[in-house]
Amino acid sequence: MKKMPLDERDLRSLRVFCAAAQASGFAAAERTLLMSKASISRHINEVEARLGLKLCERGPGGFQLTEGGQVALRVSLQALEALERIKPEVDAVRGVLSGPLVLGMSEHLMTHKDCKVADALGELNRIAPLVTPTLKVMTFGDLGTALAERRVQIAIRGVYKRVRAFRHYPLFTETHRVYYRPAEGGASGEIDAHGEVCEWPLVYRPHPFVEDALATHGFRQGPEASGLEAVATLVATGRYVGLLPEHYAAQLSSRYEFAVLPQSPSYDIPFCAIVEESRPLTRSAEAFLRLLLEAHR
């Protein structure tokens, strides 16, 4: 495949390629770009022709980046991010903060009394109304991936272990405990005179705290759930127990009378603002991070 040098006319095609790669396919990218699959394919073909390299496999087997496509995506995202920084950086010389601010955060953080994300965003809007924030709620794993792929500038999530590639700024602590719903007929297990767990099925989800509770605290594994909402729904049946954050369970207690299981283990996890170590923050991201840390002090 003959390669040709990239020029400014290829910027749009590079943006289309990045959007398709991040969406893992043309169908999802159609909705993001408001373009047809044929148009998306044409743009990617143009980039491949310029680079002289096949960037992705697309067809009945699905969409998958080639090794060269992975490199092209990483470098293209860095280049496009650099372009997006030009105006905000020039504005900053005039003392004006502007440009996009893309944040990612875990679900249900707003129910935690110590979460001050909204306060920091409100203050940012007051001092820098030209900054345009985008807030994305994601799962734990998706947040890490989005940060590594530079789809978010700052991630706010729990930290089970620190990753060298990221810098962590502690904000507040979340406590998880095992909850049940006292109900007529009880759950399907019993508690003995010492408050020890006997055959109470613990709702399972792939999570370090759940794995520890099953391995070291005598719980029997119950049905599998995905996300806190699913865990809480099963606990609300009165037939299972489940690990939930205290602040989240408190929101449901008035309706379902959730209670902490006697002798429940307690797990604390620090929630942090996380940024990529090697990625310089924009002025607007720096300002938000400063306000976020001040709000949580």
Co-location of 226 and 194 in the same domain: yes
Co-location of 149 and 21 in the same domain: no
d(CA 15, CA 79): 10
Co-location of 207 and 265 in the same domain: yes
Q: What pLDDT score was predicted for residue 236?
A: 94
Top-confidence residue, 2 or 52? 52
Parent domain of 140: 97-297
pLDDT, tens only, 240-266: 999 999 999 999 988 999 999 988 999
Top-confidence residue, 148 or 116? 116
Q: What pLDDT score was predicted for residue 186?
A: 47
Co-location of 68 and 102 in the same domain: no
- Specify if 83 maps to a domain: no
d(CA 171, CA 277): 18
- Specify if 87 maps to a domain: no
Q: What's the CATH number where 154 sits?
A: 3.40.190.290
Co-location of 268 and 167 in the same domain: yes
Of the spans 11-15, 149-153, 209-213, which averages the highest pLDDT?
209-213
Q: What pLDDT score was predicted for residue 86?
A: 66
Largest Cα–Cα separation, the chain = 78
Contact 194, 172 (CB under 8 A): no
Top-confidence residue, 295 or 70? 295
- Specify if 207 maps to a domain: yes
Q: What pLDDT score was predicted for residue 187?
A: 46
Q: What pLDDT score was predicted for residue 192?
A: 52
- Boundary of a domain, candidates 78, 106, 125: 78
pLDDT, tens only, 172-221: 999 999 999 986 544 444 555 455 545 679 999 989 999 999 999 889 99
- Boundary of a domain, candidates 78, 109, 135: 78
Chain centroid offset of residue 136 CA: 7
What's the whole-number mean pLDDT along residues 126-133?
92
Half-sphere exposure of 280 toward its Cβ, with a 13 Å CA cutoff?
Answer: 7
Q: Strands (DSSP E) along 205-265, which ranges? A: 220-224, 242-245, 259-260
Q: What's the CATH number where 32 sits?
A: 1.10.10.10
pLDDT, tens only, 103-121: 999 988 999 999 999 999 9
Q: What pLDDT score was predicted for residue 295?
A: 96
Co-location of 74 and 154 in the same domain: no
Top-confidence residue, 2 or 296? 296
pLDDT, tens only, 38-91: 888 888 888 888 888 888 887 776 778 888 888 888 887 777 766 676 666 666
- Boundary of a domain, candidates 44, 78, 112: 78
Co-location of 173 and 41 in the same domain: no
pLDDT(9) > 90:
no
Co-location of 102 and 208 in the same domain: yes
**Which residues, in sequence order, are CB contacts of 205 under 8 Å at separation 6+?**
224, 225, 226, 227, 230, 231
Number of domains observed in the structure of the chain: 2
- Specify if 54 maps to a domain: yes
Q: What pLDDT score was predicted for residue 67?
A: 85
